[in-house]
A and B are shown apart, each in its own frame.
Chain A
Amino acid sequence: RKEVEQDPGPFNVPEGATVAFNCTYSNSASQSFFWYRQDCRKEPKLLMSVYSSGNEDGRFTAQLNRASQYISLLIRDSKLSDSATYLCVVNINFNKFYFGSGTKLNVKP
């Protein structure tokens, strides 16, 4: 079983839609969690850290469910510019972490 699993997608949604991705992790000792976005042929950029209480940044909301061992990312009012691959990252400790393989989002006009 992979340490971190994501649905590769693609998720094809119209502009303005709300879309949600999940990322499941296998190690219950995981300590910190992040969402990155990666545009085609570019480097990953940090989107947001995921806190136990959940956190929101504009149209983006991240949640952590430790009991079920997953994190989620909700994007409201999707924009064309949100089209990218979204990577989740799970840290077991400082130097042990795992990247998901990414979920591709296509927002269409």
Chain B
Amino acid sequence: GAVVSQHPSRVICKSGTSVKIECRSLDFQATTMFWYRQFPKQSLMLMATSNEGSKATYEQGVEKDKFLINHASLTLSTLTVTSAHPEDSSFYICSARDDRVRYEQYFGPGTRLTVT
């Protein structure tokens, strides 16, 4: 149980374009989803927290107009990187949690974004 998928697993895009990443909880309802980014050899950095049906809460320093998050249902959240730049190239990972049941987060397999 507690499987989270992410799509795509890898994406290469050109500077200035937008990229959408999907995060799905496959066998449980995710009342909360988290979005992280991770640079090589660095720790996870929380970008934002989203609850189903409400606006995401962004961490300090994360531009909400650049990283659009939509938590449309209890099984799906999307992160759109708008007007991507090469410095946005990173490993983006989502996690999901059912707050009614537990504190533990379950992570998706991540999306490796390369902006050229």
B63 within 8 A of A: no
CB–CB A46/B91 < 8 A: no
CB–CB A44/B49 < 8 A: no
Measured in the bound complex, the distance between the Cα atoms of B99 and A98 in whole Å is 17
> Interface residues of B, CB < 8 Å — how many?
19
A41 within 8 A of B: yes
Chain B residue with the shortest CB-CB distance to A31: B103
19 A-B contact pairs sorted by A residue (CB < 8 Å): A31-B103, A34-B103, A43-B93, A43-B109, A43-B110, A44-B44, A44-B93, A44-B107, A46-B106, A49-B103, A91-B103, A94-B32, A95-B32, A95-B49, A99-B43, A99-B46, A101-B42, A101-B43, A102-B43
Residues of B within 8 A of A (CB): 32, 42-44, 46, 49, 57, 91, 93, 99, 103-110, 112
Contacts beyond the supplied A43-B108, A43-B109, A99-B44: 12 A-B pairs with Cβ under 8 Å: A41-B91, A41-B112, A42-B110, A43-B110, A44-B107, A45-B107, A46-B105, A46-B106, A91-B103, A95-B49, A95-B57, A101-B43
